[in-house]
Structure 1
Amino acid sequence: MGNNFFKDNRLPANTTLKMSSVPVGNTSVISTPVGGAKDWSVEDLFVSPFVCGRNYMELFYSVPEVFFPIDYIASRIAGSGFQLKKVKDDSVVWENKRMNQILTKPNCMMSWKEVIYSHFVYKLCTGNAFFRAAMSDAFKNQPKWRWCDNYWELPADYVNVEPNLGVNIPMFGIAKEEEIIRCYRLNYGYVSTMDIPSFQIWHDRDGVPEYMSVDGFMKSQSRLAAHLKPIANLIAVYEARNVIYVKRGGLGFLVSQKKDEAGTVAMTKKEKKEILDDHYDRFGLDKRKLPYGLSDVPLSFVRTNLTISELQPFEETLTDAIQIAGAYGIPSVLVPRKDQSTFSNQATAEKAVYTSTIIPMAKQFCKQLTAFLGLEEGGYYLDCDFSDVDCLQQGLKEAEEVKTMVNTRCKEQFLSGLISINDWRAQINESRFEDPLFDKTLFEMSDEERDKVKQVISLNTKSEVEDGRENQKPTVQNEGE
């Protein structure tokens, strides 16, 4: 079972996997196994489980403890509501046909949700994601959202960043992308080899890029690279459990208990044969056979294997799963286990994951994709909406209560002449008014300007407010005095 995680399905069985040589000092997990460059067999990989770039996806597909945190984040980001908004006032744009098409079906094969899910699976699993806008070179310098109708998420484990090796690369200097990167090369299945211009690709990295590795140039390592030992432990535990369940190998020995004056007497070959023949003929798990055996020879059984409970694999896998989930910001309380935590603890932990990991990651994705598509030139930007997430509803209620309190305080400060209308709006995260009037405090306004402000805020009547001060009612004197 474990060996399958490291197999390259394109190679015949028992084929030696050859790792390319790299410069001394390069420790990239994408190109060279731990311990130096050499020929590594599949068996070697299992004994000392080095995970090269393409095998990270195999781990995602095959090991549930690797699948869980990546799918947890990717599925929730993909399930959020992506919206097109105006830069000017942050209002949602509903009737932009081009962007509505992109946010519904970005290419002929996949929905927007599928593309987003693939993007984050590749990014979190391999450390890299490649979002492609397939378009003509004639529109190279044009906003992509206006001139491109096909957007794809490339299989990151089959994409290489090809540097301009024939020229002096102006790395760390004043340079354009095409001066450093010649193209992005895709080597995948039916596609064979495809060289894609750099202007069509948005390379979204999940870490620090490599500079000295040819195979991994400008690519970042996977977060899983720091967790090879927990992954190796998981594979070993699954393999051991599988061995026990299918009863491969010896479980123990039948030992003769016959004795004479000299001591214990070993069974003869005839007695051994009779016991085995009787066992296979009469005993076993078949419905027509007995679940126990009888013997004329005094015997005892000496067990040589360990049981599932003695190996304690569930404690081991939980520990490894917690370490792997922690690499993606998932707390241990959310890791699937036998003794699930209380609902309140899970809701609190899930809310923390949304606020600290999922939402910031989704917001950053929208910001970078907005720049890649050139939306800001049209006065737009992409945003994501998580308002329908159950665990965040309490937070939204609390936020509204805070906003109401801030709004009430600002109203009092405005009526006291301490702040302007635009100061007020800034504190409640609303856009400012362009009219200079709303940059004035109440003391700085004329009577006509105060009348105009009444359209924005309900002021007291002029008899109660004059020159920015509340008139005090005269003291009522006692007529008898």
Structure 2
Amino acid sequence: MQLVKKIKGWFATEKSASEAPVEKTKPELNNYDDEAWRVHLMSEIASPYVADRNFLTLFHTVPEVFFPIDFIARRIAGAHFEIRSYKDDSIIYCNGRSQKADRLNAILQAPNSIQRWRELVYMHHVFKLVTGNAFMRAAMADTFKDMPKWKYCDNFWSIPSNWVKVVPAGTKIPLFGIAKLEELVGGYELARSNDTLIRIPTFQVWHDRDGMPQYLNCTGADFLKSESRLKAAHRAISNLIAVYEARNVIYVKRGALGFIVAKKDGGELGTQAMKPKEKEELLEELNGKYGFGDNKMPIGVTDVPIEFIRLNQSISELQPFEETLLDAITIAGLYGIPDVLVPRKDHSTFSNQAVAEKSAYCGTIIPMAKQFCEDLTLFLGLDKEGYYIDCNFNDVDCLQVGLKESEEVKKLVNERCRSQFNDGLITYNDWRAQIHETALEGDIYNKVKFDMTPEELAKIDTIIKSNNSKPSTGEESNERNIEKNPVSDQNG
């Protein structure tokens, strides 16, 4: 009996399987289908918080999103970057005599085989401001894992952050505990769609975030990544897309412009409607004789009493520009750009525009550039050698007033250092360091005044007098005096 029941059960299973409805699969869209591509593109633009790639699409396609990000990134990339010494803040020049100095400055010239330094800095900050994350890779062999990167790496790359996935070091990581980076992050995967291109070791990557990291999403693609600022502007961006779509509809005149309504008097019945044949004759006459084509008249003449009722609205009636300006100001405000710097349709400027641009530099651009230099210094390992990367914006017009003030401060500092040097409190190189001048070589410049011989004092006095007589070329005078009268390195 049990065997019979089993056989019946088998037949019942086969019957139910055969009667089960076949699941219909949706046909795959053709990549070359224009309609599918248009829907795909619009979904990317109109849904900015689906993935980071959508933020980049917004950056490349919506000018109100492009402006504040490009404004910041381009100005940071245009700064003057230099290598300085922690000891006296002197600049390490590329002079061809020091292999260390040449290698340090080579990073600031060509960080990789296809990019200049400014391109790399611009790309880094665009990814950081658009997606909230930037990844810089030092491509080097595992043999030099514990070595300073500035010594053993010749290729530095800004990796597309929308393709990078931070891989946890394991299923149970000591998050919020005592742990090194390698114990939390197992590496970085550079993946496009579902295909992993390469996996990069942790020690090669510097993850630069624009906000708070996401800790709890340990299994997702956003682990330890920061949110984009553009998420806060979702409503403003949606309004912009809607305005652009509305303007496009009006410009290309899609849909009905209006109706042609009969005005034929029907006596007591009121206005009499046209018959179908009369409509066809009127349309044939209008399309055949009137218009802007060849052998057509721009003015229409008809014996049928009609009236045109417009349905669409003009740009001036919709007033989308005012709404667009408010949205653009909202997005720019997220990045610390004053509203007076946002481009306007009438190209209007304000009297306080220079003050606003200076505010953008002092409040947003310069702090971000300084932070970039500090983090990059640690990533390259320059701090262990007594060096650091610095930047300045001395050639920016709106900051010239600030430079004048700083020169006055420098003059006061110079007078104070002169007094301290004469009192034997500081050396001549200490004096130069406090006014941000390069240190001079020679033991005489590292002595206080009371440790100098009469000959050395005379030499220093000559240099100081030369600087006072020609303040604009003081350093050149120093170098000429040193070349004419070389100072021995013997201690007095």
**The TM-score by the shorter chain falls in which range?**
0.7 to 0.9
1:105 matches 2:110 = yes
1:250–1:305 Cα contact (<8 Å) kept: yes
3-state secondary structure, aligned to 2:225: coil
Query: Match for residue 165 of structure 2?
Result: 160
Query: Match for residue 291 of structure 1?
Result: 298
Q: Where do 1:156-235 residues align within 5 Å?
A: 156-166=161-171, 168-188=172-192, 192-213=196-217, 214-235=220-241
Q: Where do 1:122-137 residues align within 5 Å?
A: 122-137=127-142
1:83–1:384 Cα contact (<8 Å) kept: yes
Query: Match for residue 62 of structure 2?
Result: 63
Q: Mean alpha-carbon deviation: is it higher for 402-411 or for 79-88? A: 402-411
Q: Match of 1:75, as an amino acid?
A: R
1:14–1:42 Cα contact (<8 Å) kept: no
**Aligned match for 1:348, one of 355, 369, 385:** 355
Shift of 1:220: 0.3
1:119 matches 2:124 = yes
Shift of 1:430: 7.4
Q: Mean alpha-carbon deviation: is it higher for 242-251 or for 301-310? A: 301-310
Structure 2 runs not aligned, ≥5 long:
1-28, 96-100, 465-492
For residues 84-118 of structure 1, the C-alpha deviation after alignment (integer angstroms, 9 at most, x for no partner) is 22222222322333233322222222222211111
3-state secondary structure, aligned to 2:52: coil
**Aligned match for 1:240, one of 231, 240, 246:** 246
Q: Where do 1:398-477 residues align within 5 Å?
A: 398-408=405-415, 420-421=425-426
Query: Match for residue 343 of structure 2?
Result: 336
Tell me how many residue pairs correspond in the alignment: 422
Shift of 1:232: 0.4
How many angstroms apart in 1 are the aligned matches of 2:405 and 2:211?
34
Structure 1 runs not aligned, ≥5 long:
1-7, 17-39, 460-481
1:386 matches 2:393 = yes
How many angstroms apart in 2 are the aligned matches of 1:112 and 1:191?
30
CA distance 1:282–1:215, shift in 2 (3 Å)? same
Shift of 1:236: 0.3
Q: Match of 1:255, as an amino acid?
A: V
How many angstroms apart in 1 are the aligned matches of 2:45 and 2:272?
44
CA distance 1:280–1:15, shift in 2 (3 Å)? closer
CA distance 1:10–1:353, shift in 2 (3 Å)? farther
3-state secondary structure, aligned to 1:54: helix
Query: Match for residue 467 of structure 1?
Result: none
How many angstroms apart in 2 are the aligned matches of 1:291 and 1:327?
51
Shift of 1:454: 7.8
Shift of 1:291: 2.7
3-state secondary structure, aligned to 1:272: helix
Q: Where do 1:251-262 residues align within 5 Å?
A: 251-261=257-267, 262=269
3-state secondary structure, aligned to 1:352: helix
3-state secondary structure, aligned to 2:197: strand
Query: Match for residue 150 of structure 2?
Result: 145
Higher helix residue share = 2
How many angstroms apart in 2 are the aligned matches of 1:457 and 1:114?
47
How many angstroms apart in 2 are the aligned matches of 1:176 and 1:364?
22
Shift of 1:332: 1.0
Q: Match of 1:94, as an amino acid?
A: C
Aligned Cα RMSD in Å? 3.6
Query: Match for residue 478 of structure 1?
Result: none
Query: Match for residue 404 of structure 2?
Result: 397
Q: Match of 1:366, as an amino acid?
A: C
CA distance 1:43–1:72, shift in 2 (3 Å)? closer
2:215–2:223 Cα contact (<8 Å) kept: yes
For residues 13-42 of structure 1, the C-alpha deviation after alignment (integer angstroms, 9 at most, x for no partner) is 7779xxxxxxxxxxxxxxxxxxxxxxx987
CA distance 1:452–1:191, shift in 2 (3 Å)? farther
**Aligned match for 1:364, one of 348, 355, 371:** 371
Q: Where do 1:305-324 residues align within 5 Å?
A: 305-324=312-331
2:85–2:91 Cα contact (<8 Å) kept: yes
Query: Match for residue 471 of structure 2?
Result: none
TM-score (norm 1): 0.78
Shift of 1:197: 0.6
3-state secondary structure, aligned to 2:123: helix
For residues 282-329 of structure 1, the C-alpha deviation after alignment (integer angstroms, 9 at most, x for no partner) is 222335433332222111121221110111111111110011011111
Q: Mean alpha-carbon deviation: is it higher for 198-207 or for 181-190? A: 181-190
How many angstroms apart in 2 are the aligned matches of 1:390 and 1:97?
31
Query: Match for residue 94 of structure 2?
Result: 94
Query: Match for residue 21 of structure 1?
Result: none
3-state secondary structure, aligned to 1:72: helix
Identity %: 54
1:333–1:341 Cα contact (<8 Å) kept: no
How many angstroms apart in 2 are the aligned matches of 1:380 and 1:278?
84
How many angstroms apart in 2 are the aligned matches of 1:62 and 1:46?
8
How many angstroms apart in 2 are the aligned matches of 1:215 and 1:333?
38
